Amino acid sequence: MGMGRFFTRHSFFVLAILLLLVPAASTSPAQQNQKKKEKPLRKEVLNFDGGILFETDGGLSELTCFRVSGRAYAPGFFDEFKRIDDDNGTEFKSGQQVVNEFPEELQVSFTMFDISCDPRLQRPGPKKYLTQEMMKSLRFSFYWKRGIELRHIENLKPEAAIAEALEPYNKASKEELPMRFQWFLRFTIPSAGVPLTDRLVLIIRTADGRTAARVAARL
């Protein structure tokens, strides 16, 4: 009886150990494929071929409003330029080359033109169009933004400021309509060593320091 109890207990102990050593049932190929379908790898690709586009609306008063529409670019650098986001992080590619910083300089060009201050109005109300005097009074400032930090960009170069006359809305009107213009501006911005994750911010201010428009170009 003593030996029988010993072997019984001993056999139970060995069986328990063997059960612990038995590997878990392997997952079938079908189950593995199912898991892959349930948790696909995240990958997003954004195309910035040609540069970074930006646009915003601004105003000088309740009667004078405008739209800013532009692009930040550099010759060759933004050819086939992509931002790739996946589970491993963010990667930027210029063509086939991985890049982390902006080039030596950026060209920033944009147009400004009049828009209605209240787009909900079915009929255009009273307004004052942008004039040469208004444009001369504006101050254009550029910044690099990282998080909430703004770093003012020094040594930028104004390259062009051109006014192009626009056709009046109603050519048949006998009233003497004010001249309207579309304004084109271009700046060269130093950008050597600036990470591609920083944002380029343009702030347009009036002569008294009020912000008339603000927009960010970001990758």
pLDDT value, residue 26: 52
pLDDT value at position 179? 79
| Residue 14 banded pLDDT, cuts 50, 70, 90 | very low
**Residue 121: inside a domain:** yes
pLDDT tens digits, one per residue of 59-91: 999 899 999 999 999 999 999 999 999 888 899
In a domain, 41, yes or no: no
Torsion of CA 54, 60, 65, 66, to 10 degrees: -30
DSSP assignment of 179-219, as one string?
PEEEEEEEEEEE-TT-BTTSEEEEEEE-TTS-EEEEEEE--
The amino acid occupying position 92 is: F
Instruction: Give the burial class of 207: count Cβ atoms within 10 A of its Cβ; 0-12 exposed, 13-18 middle, 19 or more buried.
Output: exposed
Nearest to 83 by CA among 96, 92, 74: 92
Looking at residue 28, its pLDDT comes to: 60
- pLDDT band, very low/low/confident/very high, at 41 (cuts 50, 70, 90): confident
The tally of domains found in the chain comes to: 1
Average pLDDT, stretch 140-148? 96
Residue 107 in any domain: the answer is yes
The answer to whether residue 89 sits within a structural domain is: no
In a domain, 85, yes or no: no
Residue 12 placed within a domain: no
Q: Is 143 helix (H, G, I), strand (E, B) or coil?
A: strand
Q: Which residue is listed with tokens 């309740």?
A: 62
Q: Which residue has the higher pLDDT, 170 or 95?
A: 95
Least confident span in 9-23, 24-38, 51-65, 201-215: 9-23
160-168 average pLDDT score: 85
Give the residue numbers spanning the domain of 190.
55-71+101-217
Residue 136 falls inside a structural domain: yes
CATH code for the domain of 179: 2.60.40.10
Tell me, what's the pLDDT at 13? 43
CA 38 to each of CA 6, 26, 27, 32, 88: distance values in angstroms, whole numbers, following the listed order = 51, 19, 15, 10, 19
Q: Is residue 207 part of a domain?
A: yes
